[in-house]
Structure 1
Amino acid sequence: MTEEPFQFFSLTALRTTRPSPSFVRVTFGGDDVARLASGGRDQRVKLFLPRPGQNAPVMPGPDDGHWWAAWRALDPDVRGVMRTYTVRDLRREPQELDIDFAVHEVAPGSDEGPATRWALNAGSGDRVGVLAPIHEENVAYDFRPPDGTDWILLTGDESALPAVAGILESLPPGTPAHVWIALQHASDRWELSTKADAHLTWLVQDESAPATEEAIRAADLPDGTPYAWLAGESATVKAVRRHLVGELGFDRAAVRFTGYWRRGTSEDELLRSGEDA
């Protein structure tokens, strides 16, 4: 029998830290971490969170067939809350997994999302599930610049900041990279580690910075063959892609774009629309 490239694992929260005011970093451990793999870059996993009153998320069993169909078949009011996150770090000594949650402080009783609520209240011993790859080479990361790429263009917002950080860490020394990251607050700037020749622009809403598309329009971009990776709010990502492909002439195949979220729409609503399709 062929081994499935993605499998369910059980993890336990070990500790939380705050890389910046709008982020919670949860470090997970457990015996299963040893079998997890990551291709680095913008590696994605599916995280399953318990619902209120549960001490662990309700998830499909290992023999329930394809994970998506099995998860959909569970009672929507009971099954674990599923969200997609980027692996921030996967360490072997000790065996630990870091996931960064973009959160916003909310008033008691307000209707914050379930992932924000869980991350803000996460404590040592809290249990989650994860659907993750068991091989470093897998289909759940998108940053794959082809041979012959001369320079890199990256854009993102808070939701994409962990992935941008991972991509920058993976770039070979001296790689030309032009990066725009949109934030609401200046206090959420991170110290990003890279050996690339990176030109980083923070677009801070509190400082009346221009929108990402406007900032790129005003930029003096290098010559040569580019590769672009765009992620964040769906409408913004599409606007930047239209500019790069339609106006600047980027090869469509050299522009990888992903809408991590859609303004005015919750992830649960997007999941429900996908289930009804």
Structure 2
Amino acid sequence: MTQSRLTPLPIILRRLVVESNELVNPRLRRVRLGGEELGAFERDGVLFPAFASPGFDDHVKLIFAPGGDIADALPVQRAHGIEWTASPVRESRDYTPVEVDADAGTIAFDFVVHSDSGDRSAAGPAEAWAAAARPGDDLWIVGPKSSTVVPPNATWTLMVADETGLPAVRRFLTERPVPGPVRAVLAVADPVAQQVLPVGPDDEITWVCAEPGDGAALADAVAGIVPLDGAPYIWGAGESRSLLPIRKYVKRELAVPKRDVDITGYWHLRELVPEQAAADDGAPTAGPAVVESPVTWFAVRAALRLGLIEAVDAGRIGRAGLARRLGIRDERLAPLVDLLIACRVLSADGTALTVGERGDVLLTDDHARQQFDGVRAEQILALTELAECLPAAEPAWRRRTGTSFARFAASDAAVYAELIEDAERLQFLIPALAALSALWTGSPVFFGPGAVTLAQGLRTAGAIGPGAVPTVVAQGAPRAALEEAAGAGDILFTDDWPRAQTAIAACALAHCEDEEAVALLAAPRPAVRRLVIVESTSPDALSPRVAEDAVLSLALVGRAPRDREQLGRLARDAGWRVVNEAALGWGVSALVCEPTE
């Protein structure tokens, strides 16, 4: 599970002050900041800890409001997290601190200079701010919300980055989280952007001068690196599509396990100004959308389910050879192949077929593939029944499949595993939950797709005492999926409800219809004294898919995502009353419930 390689951190909004602004070279500007809020500080009666950035590639979100009031762009700070409310003026970018000096009370960020010094009209909000920043100016930041933990078994490191990844490379070489040699391939658009880095005697740095997003230049240079003996740690950052051949090379040629690889798309070439806009959960960002129409979506889905893209990727092959390999008559396969070429999933090189740039995304990014051949694809198919189900107040999923989505998920461990993966976002809220220390006395009991994430995270954070054993209650396929997710760990699994002080419902309700949710919440009531419901209660304004997800929820369970009042009604129907609520951030709350008399 990914949370074993992440350390969650308190999520805090801070106001910093510019101390200096230096043009390091014509392609790079370094802004150093300080201010009281880099240290421990108090705001609205709440004491917040000092800034911490323990990981070399931590992402800090910088907040801008071009042409607007910065106050309208800021999130709401809670005691244990933040809430991103909707804002028409907010622009944010994720940057890696290139220097963190706790003794001096300063932090520095590097800004790549893309636009001509005489014309800043094409500059993005971060570059424009950095160009104009003067000592005494303010900058508001959030985070980092987590730090990457490098694999403890690594003996050497391969790093691949363009200019946006250079701050993380510099910090890695300075801090040395892996003690062995480093082989680094670093791409810059102009030789003047090359930097003097703190290399060791056994390190080797290969500079590549190429246009931004030139994946071929990066791949050729990486292929020339001679792998060292021992266990490698692979790290990469840059333009998302340029990293696709690197992902394939690492997986196929180097055969490095996925758990020892961190390759993140920081930006997309389609953006006007390529800044360090990393994904919020630290995961690789998906490439360009593959679908231009519903017909294309179904064509891509068919290609994935047939194994067509993998068949082409196995080696140069013509249309007739592909038809024979798939066992489909050539004339029946031809229209599908033509459409896949048109949308760049495949490419035609004379008579031979190869995988196109969008096909590479589907081969290397599991999240992109799941849009066409995973649980989310099945959810999308349920929308075909939406028009008929809305008047009848019936979930479209139930009409299409004859069963509820919750029963479907509970019958298949692979499906439930995708719910577990979605619930891993709770790992970023562990510091906020751990601060609710009164809830974790004794040995708490967890249930729902997020059960293992919370049990492991709270144990690691020290919220669950060393003598206590967290218990996960699950049966059948969900139990199998949760046990697989937990791996070898100190968690007890059981089919039945044990006596306990507290039961925690971890993302347990969103995939359930109302009646199922009530039954789920009622089940632990005879055995426990307190119930904590950890669930989304409001939309995350930073998510680009809020409206889309609401429609999918309507199709799956017959209603839009529940708010706090609706969750409270479910709790009351199950024999509980909400006595407290803690906002954890990102639209997630912890509702503390006690039994009704």
The TM-score range, normalised by the shorter chain, is 0.7 to 0.9
Name the CA distance, whole Å, in 2 between partners of 1:98 and 1:246: 37
Name the CA distance, whole Å, in 1 between partners of 2:247 and 2:203: 21
Cα RMSD between the aligned structures?
A: 2.9
Deviations 1:159-199 (A, max 9, x none): 00000111111226962111000001111111111446211
Distance 1:225 1:158, change over 3 A: same
Tell me the equivalent position of 2:290: none
Name the CA distance, whole Å, in 1 between partners of 2:148 and 2:260: 11
Are the equivalent residues in 2 in contact too, given 1:55–1:127 (CA < 8 A)?
Answer: no
Q: Which of the two has greater helix per residue?
A: 2
Following superposition, the deviation at residue 275 of structure 1 comes to 4.9
Name the CA distance, whole Å, in 2 between partners of 1:95 and 1:57: 28
Tell me the equivalent position of 2:158: 153
Tell me the equivalent position of 1:50: 65
Task: Using the aligned pairs only, state the percent identity.
Answer: 29
Q: Select 2:168's aligned residue among 159, 163, 174.
A: 163
Deviations 1:5-60 (A, max 9, x none): 11111111121002221111111111001111110411221111232254667312
- SS of 1:87's partner is coil
Q: Select 1:115's aligned residue among 126, 131, 135.
A: 126
Gaps in structure 2 of 5+ consecutive residues:
1-8, 40-49, 279-284, 286-541, 549-597
Name the CA distance, whole Å, in 2 between partners of 1:209 and 1:258: 14
Q: In structure 1, give the amino acid aligned to 2:86.
A: L
- SS of 2:89's partner is coil
Distance 1:177 1:109, change over 3 A: closer
Q: Select 1:130's aligned residue among 133, 141, 148.
A: 141
Which stretch shows the higher mean deviation, 150-159 or 258-267? 258-267
Distance 1:44 1:92, change over 3 A: same
Aligned pairs, how many? 262
Structure with the greater alpha carbon radius of gyration = 2
Q: 1:1-277, aligned counterparts within 5 Å?
A: 5-34=10-39, 35-52=50-67, 54=69, 58-63=73-78, 67=82, 70-71=83-84, 73-75=85-87, 77-79=88-90, 81-106=91-116, 107-108=118-119, 110-133=121-144, 140-142=146-148, 144-147=150-153, 149-171=154-176, 175-195=180-200, 197-205=202-210, 211-265=217-271, 273-275=544-546
Which stretch shows the higher mean deviation, 254-263 or 109-118? 109-118
Distance 1:45 1:196, change over 3 A: farther
Distance 1:108 1:177, change over 3 A: closer
- SS of 1:117's partner is helix
Following superposition, the deviation at residue 65 of structure 1 comes to 8.1
Are the equivalent residues in 1 in contact too, given 2:98–2:109 (CA < 8 A)?
Answer: yes
Name the CA distance, whole Å, in 2 between partners of 1:90 and 1:109: 29
Are the equivalent residues in 1 in contact too, given 2:120–2:128 (CA < 8 A)?
Answer: no
Deviations 1:109-143 (A, max 9, x none): 6332111111111112221211124xxxxx63336
Distance 1:145 1:16, change over 3 A: same
- SS of 1:211's partner is helix
Following superposition, the deviation at residue 93 of structure 1 comes to 3.4
TM-score, structure 2 length as denominator? 0.41
Distance 1:273 1:74, change over 3 A: closer
Following superposition, the deviation at residue 89 of structure 1 comes to 1.2
Q: In structure 1, give the amino acid aligned to 2:249.
A: H
Name the CA distance, whole Å, in 2 between partners of 1:99 and 1:265: 21
Distance 1:223 1:173, change over 3 A: closer
- SS of 2:147's partner is coil
Name the CA distance, whole Å, in 1 between partners of 2:147 and 2:25: 25
Name the CA distance, whole Å, in 2 between partners of 1:201 and 1:181: 6
Q: In structure 1, give the amino acid aligned to 2:62.
A: L
Following superposition, the deviation at residue 153 of structure 1 comes to 0.4
Q: In structure 1, give the amino acid aligned to 2:109.
A: I
- SS of 2:186's partner is strand
Structure with bigger RCO (C-alpha 8 Å, 6+ apart): 1
Are the equivalent residues in 1 in contact too, given 2:22–2:30 (CA < 8 A)?
Answer: yes
Are the equivalent residues in 1 in contact too, given 2:28–2:113 (CA < 8 A)?
Answer: yes
Are the equivalent residues in 2 in contact too, given 1:177–1:196 (CA < 8 A)?
Answer: no
Deviations 1:177-225 (A, max 9, x none): 110000011111111114462110000128x996111112233222322
- SS of 1:6's partner is coil
Name the CA distance, whole Å, in 2 between partners of 1:57 and 1:104: 28
Name the CA distance, whole Å, in 1 between partners of 2:161 and 2:244: 12
Tell me the equivalent position of 1:136: none
Distance 1:223 1:30, change over 3 A: same
Following superposition, the deviation at residue 102 of structure 1 comes to 1.4
Gaps in structure 1 of 5+ consecutive residues:
134-138
Are the equivalent residues in 1 in contact too, given 2:163–2:238 (CA < 8 A)?
Answer: yes
- SS of 1:197's partner is coil
Q: In structure 2, give the amino acid aligned to 1:50.
A: A
